[in-house]
Amino acid sequence: MQTSNPHISVMLNEAVQALIGPADGTYVDATFGRGGHSRAILEKLTPNASLIVFDKDPEAIAVAQEINDSRLTIYHEGFKDLGQLAHHSADGILMDLGISSPQIDTPERGFSFRFNGPLDMRMDTTRGITAAQWLEQASATEMAQVIRDYGEERFANQIAKAIVTRREEKGPLLSTQDLVEVCAATVRTREAGQSPATRTFQAIRIHINGELEELKQALQASLQVLKPGGKLVVISFHSLEDRIVKQFIAQYSKEVYDRRMPLAPVQTCLLKAISRTKPSEQEINLNPRSRSAVLRVAERLAS
């Protein structure tokens, strides 16, 4: 097994500072990862406070279970399951949407085109189909749509057809190297410094894990779980995620009424946009993986 680089939580101080209100409150780290944000949150809380963490990755849950702190409650679930928490029970919810460095740098997980390993890509290795299984059964049309929509890959059709040809001639794609070779032979032009496989790997990972749909569900659940005055803090790492977060905050930051029914109740504002932050140049230099991150903060208003 390849030794992974230590995970560096992106915009750690900015996120925790934006999240924490009352030091004796209840907070949610909806994507525990390797616990960088959670540990920093616990340092800011009083003994009477509580922190609830979610993660679908068994390895992340194992790390969480190593933290000996009675204030910590652990859920081995995706953050779409936030809705199971009590109504208006949280003073703040943090969502860090990036995958962790150990996930990327462990070949057995299959997330990275830089290492040869099995084409898995599941966040939760205990359930669901692997990327290899999906690539073996998906049609060219389905693959092209996923690669185009989730990877914003302009060569999506060509890559999908090449995967089908590869299956027919040599059998299913089983390793990350198999997929890299198909992308490299198909994608003829690419931005400087970017692998021909970058966008395809991102797209398949998002699809296998249902990441964008889960994000939408988690954001909706946050409206129910947050107390009035509670903060929603979200760190996203690519435009598809950030667009969903931006539109969600905008949607619930304005009053909505039906002009065709002037006497109908007005939907009151449920959120107030607070800030949008990018990593500092210093942080990007120390952790290049942070360069695409965007941190958005909103406050839950009284309904």
280-286's contacts with Cβ under 8 Å and 24+ in sequence apart are: 283/10, 283/11, 286/8
pLDDT at 6: 58
| C-alpha pair distances (Å), 292 with each of 95, 102, 279 | 16, 19, 8
Kindly report which listed range (40-54, 71-85, 190-204) carries the lowest average pLDDT score: 190-204
CA nearest to 133, candidates 99, 89, 167, 95: 167
Q: Which CATH superfamily is domain 12-101+211-300 in?
A: Vaccinia Virus protein VP39 (3.40.50.150)
Angstrom distance (rounded) from CA 236 to CA 221: 18
Residues written for the chain = 303
Binned at pLDDT 50, 70 and 90, residue 168 comes out as: very high
* Average pLDDT taken over every residue of the chain: 92
Binned at pLDDT 50, 70 and 90, residue 3 comes out as: very low
Angstrom distance (rounded) from CA 153 to CA 196: 10
Same-fold call for 12-101+211-300 versus 110-208: no
For the record, the structure tokens of 6 come out as 């230590």
The pLDDT tens digits for 126-137 are 999 999 999 999
Binned at pLDDT 50, 70 and 90, residue 159 comes out as: very high
Domain edges within the chain = 12-101+211-300, 110-208
Of 260 and 293, which is predicted with more confidence?
A: 293
* Reported CATH class of domain 110-208: mainly alpha
